[in-house]
Structure 1
Amino acid sequence: MFTQIVVGYIPTPEGLAALESAIELAKRGSAHLTVVNTGRAGNYADPTFATAEDIDAIDLQLANADVAHDVRQPTSGRVAADEILSAAEEVGADLVVIGVRRRSPVGKLVTGSTAQQVLLEAPCSVLAVKAR
């Protein structure tokens, strides 16, 4: 069972799928869940930076699910992968959950994506979730 789970969240179908999976895993094992949302490379006007209402809704959803949690929206300007990896190291995560997009074979070869960096550099297991 997992005791510390970190999930990278963005307000997209992939981000929602990652959050849902992380919540289910946290509930099963009474794990603490850390939700990380940040703008793309310091751009907090970017749509990947969740609104205050979205963050409040996540906080309420987790509280209603009786999941111990914290929701972070770092504003350091670092890329999302670095923020997710930093949170994973800080809390001693034993699992990181991320959402991934479907990609063409060429897109899989030529990518500098957040998901790829997290998969390669995470200090723990990583669960990559596709949107349904």
Structure 2
Amino acid sequence: MTILVAYVARPEGQAALDKGIEIATRRNERLVVVNAGPGGRDESIVDGYEGERVAERLSQLPIEAEFKHFVRGKSTIEEIEELVDQLQVSVLVIGLRKRSPVGKLLLGSMAQEILLNVSCPVLAVKAN
């Protein structure tokens, strides 16, 4: 089984990564951390340094762990759904950020779309 973490280079992404590491280590399950998006000006895409930092942290864990970085033109949701279907994911960990009522109304919610579309349990964590 695999713990999948949807990672962004923001505090909520760090919270998801920390919780994913904790769960995978406790359960002795494989950990896959993914950062994905269509590319362009998508602010959720990590740069090379951030990706290397995450990969380095994962390489020091006592479990099998890897970092995947996709910028293939697919949406973040599509990439996550494909990985959930391919990897026998026992739990998907996502980070949530606080939004104003107007922000919730205008921007929609990627977290909501993930919750409604993936076929595995989802753990949503907040940044401190």
TM-score computed with the length of structure 1 as normaliser = 0.87
Pick the aligned partner of 2:58 from 62, 66, 69.
Answer: 62
Question: Mean Cα displacement is larger for which, 17-26 or 64-73?
Answer: 64-73
Per-residue CA deviations over 1:64-88 (Å, capped at 9, x if unaligned) read 1223122111122111121112111
Match of 2:32 in 1: 34
Match of 2:89 in 1: 93
Q: Which has more strand, going by share of residues?
A: 2
User: Offset of 1:106 from its aligned partner?
Assistant: 5.2
Preserved CA contact (<8 Å) 1:32 1:68: yes
User: Offset of 1:9 from its aligned partner?
Assistant: 0.3
Listed as ranges, the gaps of 5+ residues in structure 1 are: none
Question: Mean Cα displacement is larger for which, 26-35 or 66-75?
Answer: 66-75
- How many residues are matched? 128
CA distance in 2, matches of 1:73, 1:38: 6
Preserved CA contact (<8 Å) 1:38 1:44: no
Listed as ranges, the gaps of 5+ residues in structure 2 are: none
Query: What fraction of aligned residue pairs are identical, expressed as a percent?
Result: 37
CA distance in 1, matches of 2:59, 2:40: 26
Match of 1:19 in 2: 17
Instruction: Give the residue type in structure 2 aligned to 1:49.
Output: I
Point out 4+ residue stretches in structure 1 off by more than 2 angstroms.
Answer: 43-47, 103-113
Equivalent residue of 2:92, what SS? strand
User: Offset of 1:14 from its aligned partner?
Assistant: 0.4
Match of 2:43 in 1: 47
Task: Give the direction of change, closer, same or farther, for the CA distance of 1:102–1:75 in structure 2 (3 Å limit).
Answer: same
Computed over aligned residues only, the root mean square deviation of the Cα atoms, in angstroms, reads 1.7
User: Offset of 1:108 from its aligned partner?
Assistant: 4.3
Preserved CA contact (<8 Å) 2:5 2:20: yes
CA distance in 2, matches of 1:61, 1:43: 24
